[in-house]
Amino acid sequence: MLKNILDNRDEYQPGLSIDCVIFGFHENQLKVLLVKTKHPDKWALPGGFVPINEDIDQAAVSVLHARTGLKGIFLRQFYTFGAVKRNENHFSNRVLNFGGILSEEGKWYFSRFVTVGYYALVDLMQTIPQPEGKNEIVEWIDHNVVPDLILDHKEILDKALETLRMELNLMPVGYNLLPEKFTIPELQKLYETILGRKLDRRNFLRKITAIGILTKLDEKKSNVAHKAPNLYSFDRDKYNEVVRNGLHQGW
Amino acid sequence: MLKNILDNRDEYQPGLSIDCVIFGFHENQLKVLLVKTKHPDKWALPGGFVPINEDIDQAAVSVLHARTGLKGIFLRQFYTFGAVKRNENHFSNRVLNFGGILSEEGKWYFSRFVTVGYYALVDLMQTIPQPEGKNEIVEWIDHNVVPDLILDHKEILDKALETLRMELNLMPVGYNLLPEKFTIPELQKLYETILGRKLDRRNFLRKITAIGILTKLDEKKSNVAHKAPNLYSFDRDKYNEVVRNGLHQGW
């Protein structure tokens, strides 16, 4: 795969890459999609290069598909990482493989790559990864126990999580991640998992209700021991309206 | 300047540029810093290329300084623009200057450039632009009457303004843009100018007071005809705290 790209490097934007941070939510866990390659034997965000004839936003979707088999994921661009030294270690660790002398391919590959970061939050069960390369492993890993990542991928991951948390203050989250009918405690748990902290039950109820995106159903959750909690669903029209206009009509 | 870069193109990141959207506020006007060059005879955002030995964030500061003489401006990265066709028109209009046959310089210059957008909001009077090149004009132009811009610079400008408006929902704005002592109507006017719409006086007062960043002074505005309005200043500690933590402690 890499050899193929190096041989056809004129067909790729020089010095530019894409990295995708895909958060998956399932059963109250926030996970991150990571890829492990043999060389180097380390975990990384799914990423790749940008064909010269492809918009970067489209390239991000293609890269994600090629590395993980995932399709139809709406990716949001969140930041571009361009420190001079961002792939320097990668360089010094691997230049030996090239016998110390850099070919034209080597120069291309080891130059500073500026990488555009994209992220998404998806329902993990709807998006089963299937690695294309047989030397690759693709796995959902709990964001609390992410192993060492190559390059500055940990920094990219942290920035994506920070962006996702900020987004909770700008728009509602939950559609596609929860079952069609859910309880307020289930919704609260989603927010707590993303934010990484406990929330006050009453405050959460008051704030989430004030947004006006919930429809209280005439049903209660069954199979629960004590007082059965009410079921809710999202009012899709209002939900979409708030996504468009932002949570805080603000000023 | 461009010739110098083309001659030394190996010292620049290929296919990557920086564009800066500098908003200036003064006397209730929101202006944008634009540069006019002779070739083409059109307005543009101040921008430039990225030296291979410079972080992109630093390159943005250097580019802004080189094009406008402005120093010490805190730039925020907001989006990266990478459509395949983003500099295609530029290409077809100018390739004739190269006699239709592209030299190595031409290939470098006319390839797709991905551009990283940065923006800032500054006090216009504190930041007097001084163009470096004598063929350039640098001017503050009211954002409501921006002329035709090259390439996709209008799209970049619109996205920056959208980001700035969203930022009003995330953090306070005003320090450095207003005099040390100001009235609530003056602060409201700043918000109205950025948002491009009128705000309700009572709602604004209630919301801005609730943030807890204002200190009511024991002074009134002098030189006003009717009821003299109270003067306020920002409580810098609280202001910085809210900038750090965000407006809405949220969830």
Nearest C-alpha in B relative to A86? B55
Hey, is the C-beta of A168 within 8 angstroms of any chain B C-beta? yes
Ranges of CATH 3.90.79.10 domains, chain A: 2-167
Q: One-letter amino acid identity for B92?
A: S
Tell which A residues from 181 to 210 touch B, by Cβ distance under 8 Å: 191, 195, 199, 204, 207
> What residues does CATH 1.10.10.10 cover in chain B?
184-245
* Between residues B132 and B43, the one the model is more confident about: B43
First to last CA, chain A: 51
Measured between CA atoms, the residue of chain A closest to residue B250 is: A169
Question: pLDDT tens for residues A140-185?
Answer: 999 999 999 999 999 999 999 999 988 888 888 888 888 899 999 9
Q: What is the CATH number of domain A184-245?
A: 1.10.10.10
Q: Give contacts of A246 with chain B, Cβ < 8 Å.
A: 166, 169
Residue B249 is predicted with a pLDDT of 58
The tens digit of pLDDT for each residue in B205-237 reads: 999 998 999 999 998 877 766 778 899 999 999
Percent of chain B with pLDDT over 70: 92
Of residues A97 and A30, the one with the higher pLDDT is A30
Q: How far is A155 from chain B (nearest CA, A)?
A: 15
Cα separation, B230 vs B181, whole angstroms: 10
Phi, psi of B169 (to 5 degrees): -85, -10
- Report yes or no: B178 and B186 within 8 Å, Cβ to Cβ: yes
Q: Using the beta-carbon criterion (under 8 Å), do B77 and A77 form an inter-chain contact?
A: no
Phi and psi, residue B54, nearest 5° = -130, 135
Q: Which CATH superfamily is domain A2-167 in?
A: Nucleoside Triphosphate Pyrophosphohydrolase (3.90.79.10)
Question: Three-state secondary structure along B26-68?
Answer: ECCEEEEEEEECCCCCCEECCEEEEECCCCHHHHHHHHHHHHH
A50 Cα to chain B: minimum distance (Å): 10
Chain B's closest residue to A111, CA to CA, is B52
Per-residue pLDDT tens over the stretch B149-176: 999 999 999 999 999 988 887 888 888 8
